[in-house]
Amino acid sequence: MPPLALTRLVLNDFRNYTYLKLDTDTRPVVLTGPNGSGKTNLLEAISFLSPGRGLRRARLHDPARQDGDGQWVISANIINQGFEHKVGSGLLRPAGGGPGSEKRTVRIDGVDGKRTSDLGEIFQVSWLTPQMDRLFTDTAGGRRRFLDRLTYGFDPEHAKRTASFEKIMRQRNRLLKEGRMDPHWLNSLEHQMAELAISIIAARGQTIDRLNQAMEEGKNGDKNIVIAFPKALLQLTGALEERIKDMPALMAEDSYKQALENNRKIDAAAGSTTHGPHRSDLGVFHREKDQAAALCSTGEQKALLISIILSNARLQAGLHGKAPVLLLDEITAHLDRFRRCALFDEISRLNMQAWMTGTDEALFAEFADRAQFFTVENGTLTRV
């Protein structure tokens, strides 16, 4: 089976690109060039072809080219299970619409009006950026989004459930803020939130169980990978997780719904929902050292992140016959030659398309002809 791969990327008015058309094959892609040349912008564009706000968590207007009209468009050809799909997304202004009328659009195989969550059924992608080197010491939100993105690969519906939960929660927050304590309306919203919340927690828990099992089995895997990247132990933590631990699903839904009802006055005063899956956290530990990831060195933290990403890729390859596409920004930073070689070998072994950036082409030399190389300078790409 051919790998999941992006074989054509077209950008219009995206960041520093007025127009770009890039054709590739299914091998890994290495993008090198000076800082500020537009390498990360390419990875961000690809990340917008999956559910969510992209690898920079940008506001919808942020990617628009500064000298443009405030709109941007990304389109791509994607090979999935041997079939080619044409997908696109962008911020467009309806004909005759003025400023403020723009909206995010998604097109899949010629059909407009799709949801961003629908992209997850066509294109599974994970990423690591330099900002994520602080993932284990930053806020819970970043770790939760990282876990959710891994979960999308096992359960594409997870993206729709998390989006629906956030939307309904905002409706409830607005009612409470305005003092509109209509019990029938609130009961209906809280019932929907409870059903979604328990499904979200269950999907996250299943992903963690799979990854932990893969880490355990990985101890007997490729020697270089075992030595190069430490094994992680993952845990899902949170007040709601603790509250419903060992409860059957229906009982857990009733318990959370009751908690929402009991907390209405507290949430109204806080201006937010104070209890739920949007407050969950991902705990990560270094197995061999029996130490929280947050207490590990910077190099160890990056190695743990790579270990999790690779374990997820191996799982996806085993379950679906294809690994996700990886976006690895400045991935060679803090990696010595042994770890670089182990990473490149594993990417090749999994027949996985990874898009990698760096300032020094020499740091990717071990890939040789297993990858395709491009230089990026001032928004222009040249095949090496």
For the residues of 55-98, what is the DSSP string, one character each?
A: TTT--TTTTB-TTS-S-EEEEEEEEETTEEEEEEEEEE--TT--
3-state secondary structure of 10: strand
Q: What is the mean pLDDT of residues 96-115?
A: 83
User: Which helix (DSSP H) or strand (DSSP E) does residue 260 occupy?
Assistant: helix 249-262
Whether pLDDT at 281 is above 90: yes
Whether pLDDT at 219 is above 70: no
Top-confidence residue, 216 or 128: 128
What lies within 8 Å, CB to CB, of 113 at 6+ separation is 105, 106
pLDDT band per the 50, 70, 90 thresholds, residue 169: very high
The per-residue pLDDT for 287 is 93
For the CA atoms of 303, 339, 78, 102, the dihedral, rounded to the nearest 10 degrees, stands at 40
User: How many whole angstroms separate alpha carbon 50 and alpha carbon 124?
Assistant: 7
User: How many whole angstroms separate alpha carbon 213 and alpha carbon 300?
Assistant: 21
The per-residue pLDDT for 5 is 97
Whether pLDDT at 115 is above 80: yes
Q: What is the mean pLDDT of residues 357-376?
A: 96
Domains of the chain (ranges, CATH numbers):
1-115+327-384 (3.40.50.300), 125-323 (1.20.1050.90)
Give per-residue pLDDT as tens, 192-213.
999 999 999 999 999 999 999 9
Q: Quick one: how many helices (H) and strands (E) in the chain? A: 10, 14
The per-residue pLDDT for 100 is 66
User: How many whole angstroms separate alpha carbon 205 and alpha carbon 154?
Assistant: 12
The per-residue pLDDT for 361 is 95
pLDDT band per the 50, 70, 90 thresholds, residue 182: confident
Q: Please answer whether residues 119 and 51 qualify as being in contact, where contact means their C-beta atoms are separated by less than 8 angstroms.
A: yes
Give per-residue pLDDT as tens, 12-71.
999 999 999 999 999 999 999 999 999 999 999 999 999 888 999 999 899 999 988 889
DSSP E strands, 238-299: 281-286, 291-292
The vertex-266 CA angle with 262 and 269, nearest 5°, equals 150
Buried b vs exposed e over 31-56: b needs ≥16 C-beta within 10 Å? Answer: bbbeeebbbbbbbbbbbbbbbbebbb
Whether pLDDT at 272 is above 80: yes
Give per-residue pLDDT as tens, 221-244.
676 777 889 999 999 999 999 999
Pair of tokens at residue 192? 């929907």
Q: Please answer whether residues 76 and 106 qualify as being in contact, where contact means their C-beta atoms are separated by less than 8 angstroms.
A: no
Q: What is the pTM of this model?
A: 0.90
The per-residue pLDDT for 103 is 85
User: How many whole angstroms separate alpha carbon 85 and alpha carbon 87?
Assistant: 6
Whether pLDDT at 312 is above 70: yes
pLDDT band per the 50, 70, 90 thresholds, residue 97: low
